Amino acid sequence: MESFNAEIASGYLKVALAAADKAAAISRSHYAGNITVTTKADRTPVTQADVECERAIRELICGAFPEHGFYGEETGQTQADAAFLWLVDPIDGTKSFVRKYPFFSTQIALMHNGELILGVSSGTMMDELAWAEKGQGAWLNGKRLKVSDVHDPDRAAVSTGNLKSLADSDGWSALGEIVKCADRIRGYGDFYHYHLLAAGKIEAVIESDVNILDIAALSVIVTEAGGVFTDLNGDKPGLAIRSVLAANPALHEKYLSQLNGYVT
């Protein structure tokens, strides 16, 4: 399998990887100790680790690229009119982090004039570091990623997550048709099923109840691994995204035809 050539990495990617490494050190130190949790206005949990990780990431990125915008889960958005916008979730999966299971990650992405061009996904406690830049392929721990070529829904492994709003919509019956045909249904969740998809180990991910900070980096990684990443209506990821259909090209087309028109 092809190995990553660090010499071709852009300055953007090098800074993003350094920021992910710094955040990993912080989250590991908190994960090993007692975690204090507070509740934000939207009733989601936040920990000191979230705050410290985002602060460290923001200082590094904004220090390197002061002219860029920054949109963080904990600190909000600055320089909204900047051509380059960094999208950061310092600990995606805070509920996992709080309950001490390893399905949390740091997500760092870069958008240029509305197009996602770079993504870093650091699954800290699972020793999985994935990254991608537009046109440069996707990589996991230095090895190139490629989605599977499984095209038969009867042979497909499908992972689902965050399906609460989908369960309350007409899309639920459409998902049921996909589930009935699939060879294997799992709910790996958070960053992990996107890493599996990009590595060709599963064929599709279906989610609702997401936001752009959850999936921006992962969308670049899946796309650069040869996959297709849209919302459940087939629209490309943007700041308003709320759902995901990510799959290899053949199955994405099939699943979208089943879901399209049922999901808002």
* pTM as predicted: 0.93
Taking the C-alpha atoms of residue 37 and residue 71, their distance in angstroms, rounded to an integer, is 22
Residue 85: pLDDT over 90: yes
Task: For the chain, list the domains and their CATH numbers.
Answer: 6-144 (3.30.540.10), 153-259 (3.40.190.80)
What pLDDT, in 10s, does the model give residues 210-257? Answer: 999 999 999 999 999 999 999 999 999 999 999 999 999 999 999 999
Which residue in the block uniquely carries the two structure tokens 């090895």?
A: 143
Taking the C-alpha atoms of residue 135 and residue 8, their distance in angstroms, rounded to an integer, is 12
Residue 41 is predicted with a pLDDT of: 74
What pLDDT, in 10s, does the model give residues 92-148? Answer: 988 888 888 889 999 999 999 999 999 999 999 999 999 999 999 999 999 999 999
Residue 189 is predicted with a pLDDT of: 84
Taking the C-alpha atoms of residue 170 and residue 37, their distance in angstroms, rounded to an integer, is 36
What pLDDT, in 10s, does the model give residues 147-203? Answer: 999 999 999 999 999 888 888 888 899 999 999 999 999 999 899 999 999 999 999
DSSP 193-234: HHHHHHTTSSSEEEEES--HHHHHHHHHHHHHTT-EEE-TTS
| The pair of three-digit structure tokens given for residue 236, joined into one six-digit string | 């490309």
Q: What letter would DSSP give residue 7?
A: G
What pLDDT, in 10s, does the model give residues 195-212? Answer: 999 999 999 999 999 999
Q: If you count them, how many residues does the chain have?
A: 264
Residue 131 is predicted with a pLDDT of: 98
Instruction: Report yes or no: 207 and 229 within 8 Å, Cβ to Cβ.
Output: no
Instruction: Report yes or no: 140 and 4 within 8 Å, Cβ to Cβ.
Output: no
Strand-pair partners of 112: 84, 115
Q: Is residue 34 very low, low, confident or very high in pLDDT (cuts 50, 70, 90)?
A: confident
Q: Where are the alpha helices (DSSP H) in the chain?
A: 11-31, 48-64, 94-98, 164-167, 171-181, 192-198, 212-224, 249-259
What pLDDT, in 10s, does the model give residues 68-78? Answer: 999 999 999 99
Residue 4 is predicted with a pLDDT of: 64
